[in-house]
Structure 1
Amino acid sequence: MEQTKEISALLHLIDDPDEEVFGAVSSRIVEFGRTIIPNLEHLWENTISDSVQGRIELLIHRLHFNDLREDFNQWSLAGHHDLMVGALLAAKFQYPDLTTAPIVQEVEKLRRNIWLELNNYLTPLEQVRIVTGILYGYYGLKGTETAYTDVNDFLIHKTLEARRGNQVGNALLYLILCELLDIPVRAIGVPRQFILAYFKPGYSAEDLEQPVSKIEFFIDPSSGMVFTHKDIELYFKRIQVPAVHAYFRPYSNKKVIQSALDEMAKCFDNEKDYYKREELLELTNLLD
């Protein structure tokens, strides 16, 4: 953006020690939108004060977040909630300048490799074994513990880059591939887990009666391992939680991204990054 007199004056006041003055200045800077980011980056490069650089970084983040919030709002209001788009938006929270084309191309390669092995005569279990074989065997995807120490484990591009993610990161990739291949695998709300389920033909997301009866089997996205209904019953007994119907209803794509954002927020539990936690929770509320 062209450096006008007003912008020059605003940038000069970023180092003002009065928090009230800085608050007014930052609000005005944010009103310019992301076109002012190059001016802020130039100032950051020519500033030796750590505190001023920190203020500039916060302003740049606010500008990116405002755009991301609007992008999420548009995605939420769209008629079809493409899961790939939602996952890429979630990744842009931490990497606002993310280039999405290589990610889409990598997912398309995986989709094609799986598609070449599929046919109309396979059973549900055979279909899933092909997806799992390509993704965890040929591609080498690994699972990590969901420890909330590294937000990268939740992000689609980092999962692809490292070929490793936690339950949520791997589940996003698995669900995206199944959506592209018309395989009826959906996330469900089993407590303390991010588990997937293969739904029988004719299931409905609005089916309130016995949703568990619509499920063929369950999949752990950490490893691709398949679990039976008996395995899940034993899990509920172990955690001493009643297996109510709500836990087995298929998540919509909006709900999947909501859950991912909510889990990502838990990575920012220190005072310095607490504003990021608040922003992620704001995005989850936006998707309601």
Structure 2
Amino acid sequence: MVETREISALFTLIDDPDEEVFSTVSHRLVGYGRGIIPNLENLWENSPSESTQERIEMIIHRLHFSDLVVDFTEWKNSAYHDLLFGALLVAKFQYPDLQTTPVLQEIEKIRRNVWLELNSYLTPLEQANVISSIVYNYYNLKGQETVFTNPDDFFIHKTLQAKKGNALSNGILYLILCELLDIPVRAIQIPKHFVLAFFHNDYNPGSTNGQHNIHFYVDAATGQPFSHTDIDHYFKRLDIRSSARFFEPLNHVRIIQHLLQNLAKCFDSHQTAYKYDELMHLCQLLND
């Protein structure tokens, strides 16, 4: 962007010690849109002050976040809420320059390897065993405990790069693959867990039959199947009364909200509280 007199004047005020002045300057610069980012990056490179560089980084972050709000709004208002695209939008919160093509290529490679081992005569459990064999053994995806110390654990491109993820990131990858392969696997609302379920092919979304719609369940982190009895034991252990709503599939918008809520927990310090607020803003944006 051509640096006008106004932009130059705003740049000279970035290091003003008055927070109110900086807030006004930041708001004005964000109003120019992402086209001003190269100018800000050049200013950052030529700034000897670390505090000024931090302020420039904050302005650049706000510019990216402004674009992300627009992208999430468009995704929410679209006719079809593509789960992979939603997960990539979440990753762009921390990695705004993320190149999506390598992610799409990697997922397609895994999908094709699974597809080559499937046939129309397999039972749902046999299908699950094929997926687990390819994804968790051949591809070597590892499951790890969900902790809130590293945001990268929740980003799909980082899960693919590191070949490890928690129940949420691995589970979303599993769901994306099953959707591409036309296998009726859905995430369900089991308390305190992100659980996948193999639904009957004739499942009716308006059904109230609860568990009767489901063949079995899958541990989203490891890909291991488990039974209705295992779920019942889990409820008894935690003294939870079973409810039909626990077995209703989560739609893609709710899954992405769940991802945003858990990612936000990684930013609970005073220094990163603004990121927590931004993620919760995105989460609220997806509400009906």
**Is TM (by shorter chain) over 0.5?**
yes
Aligned residue for 2:48?
A: 48
State yes or no: 1:6 paired with 2:1. Answer: no
Cα distance in 2 for partners of 1:273, 1:127 equals 43
Cα displacement (A) at 1:206? 3.6
Q: Partner residue of 1:91?
A: 91
SS of residue matched to 2:272: helix
Where in structure 2 are there 5+ consecutive unaligned residues?
A: none
Deviations 1:168-194 (A, max 9, x none): 110111011011001111111111111
Q: Helix, strand or coil for the counterpart of 2:284?
A: helix
Matched-pair contact (CA < 8 Å) for 1:110–1:135: yes
How many corresponding residue pairs? 287
What is aligned with 2:39? 39
Q: List per-residue Cα deviations over 1:135-171 (Å, max 9, x = no partner).
A: 0010000011101111111110000000000111101
Matched, 1:250 2:249: yes
**Partner secondary structure for residue 264 of structure 1:** helix
Task: Determine whether 1:223 maps to 2:189.
Answer: no
**Runs (5+) with no aligned partner, structure 1:** none
Amino acid in structure 1 at the alignment position of 2:233: L
- Tell me if structure 2 keeps the 8 A contact 1:205–1:251: no
- Output aligned runs, 1:177-196, within 5 Å: 177-196=177-196
Q: Which residue of 1 aligns with 2:199?
A: 199
Shift of 1:47: 1.1
Counterpart-to-counterpart distance in 1, 2:45 and 2:235: 55
Partner of 1:74: 74
Q: Which amino acid aligns with 1:100?
A: T
How far apart are 1:19 and its partner, in Å?
A: 1.3
Q: 1:54: how far off? A: 1.1
Distance 1:58 1:225 in 2: 42
SS at match of 1:116: helix
| In structure 2, C-alpha distance between the alignment counterparts of 1:270 and 1:283, rounded to whole Å | 19
Deviation at 1:211, TM superposition (A): 2.1
**1:202 Cα deviation after fit:** 2.1
Q: Output the CA distance in 2 between the equivalents of 1:194 and 1:48.
A: 47
Instruction: Supply the AA of the counterpart residue of 2:245.
Output: A
- Measured in 2, the distance between the counterparts of 1:203 and 1:271 equals 46
Partners of 2:209 and 2:184 in 1: how far apart? 18
Corresponding position of 2:233: 234
Task: Answer yes or no: is the 8 Å Cα contact 1:212–1:248 preserved in 2.
Answer: yes
CA contact (8 A) 1:15 1:52 kept: yes
- Counterpart mapping for 1:150-161 below 5 A: 150-161=150-161
* Length-normalised TM-score, structure 2: 0.98
- Cα distance in 1 for partners of 2:204, 2:252 equals 14
Matches for 1:53-64 after TM superposition, within 5 Å: 53-64=53-64
Q: CA deviation at 1:244?
A: 1.2
Q: Identity over the aligned pairs, expressed in percent? A: 55
TM-score normalized by the length of structure 1: 0.98
**2:196 partner letter:** L
Residue matched to 2:278: 279
Distance in 2 (alpha carbons) for counterparts of 1:260 and 1:243: 24
Alignment RMSD (CA, Å): 0.9
Asked if the contact 1:186–1:196 (Cα under 8 Å) also holds between the matched residues in 2, the reply is yes
Query: Aligned with 1:80: secondary structure?
Result: coil
* 2:147 counterpart of 1:147: yes
Give the SS at the match of 1:111: helix
- In structure 1, C-alpha distance between the alignment counterparts of 2:238 and 2:46, rounded to whole Å: 56
Q: How far apart in 1 are the matches of 2:64 and 2:206?
A: 36
* SS in structure 2 of the partner of residue 178 of structure 1: helix
1:15 aligned counterpart, secondary structure: coil
Instruction: Quote the offset at 1:248 in angstroms.
Output: 1.0
Aligned to 1:14, what secondary structure does the other structure show? coil
